[in-house]
Homo-oligomer: A and B are copies of this chain.
Amino acid sequence: MEYVGTALAEMTMPQISPLAGEPIERADAERLAGVLKALADPARLRLLSLIQSAPEGEACVCDLTAPLGLSQPTVSHHLRILTEAGLLEREKRGVWAYYRLVPTAIATIADLLTPPRKRATKKAR
């Protein structure tokens, strides 16, 4: 636990080597696997989708428990994992805790998976 930082930030900033080019390093593989592990769960994917498609792009736990069919502690558990992975951000307003997507988090993961293609190669232009 005590690891409440954003795992994604560690990948985004020091530019983790994407799944392309030369063989990926062991440490990079573990970091990327960690974030992917947060995504690789049906309940968490549905949570992300529900939050993203919610009225203001945000939702509190009480709104998510019913659609998922999971207990409130379990939902909080998943939200915690997604938050620690850097995919969600939490804002507490009054008694409610509102979660929303971190803007470019998922897109960043997608970019790490896809090879050069058209993005990374246009650096020294």
This chain: copies in complex: 2
For the complex, would chain A's binding face be called helix, strand, loop or mixed by DSSP majority?
Answer: helix
> Considering only CB atoms and an 8 Å cut-off, how many residues of chain A contact the other chain?
36
In the complex, what residues of B have CB within 8 A of residue A30's CB?
42
- State the A residues within 8 Å of B (CB): 19-24, 26, 29-30, 32-33, 36-37, 39-46, 48-50, 52-53, 67, 106-107, 109-111, 113-115, 117
Instruction: Name A45's contact: one of B32, B45, B107, B110 (CB within 8 Å).
Output: B32
Instruction: Name A42's contact: one of B29, B43, B106 (CB within 8 Å).
Output: B29
Tell me whether A49 and B19 are in contact (CB under 8 A): yes
Closest beta carbon of chain B to A68's beta carbon, Å: 9
Instruction: Name A53's contact: one of B21, B32, B48, B107 (CB within 8 Å).
Output: B21
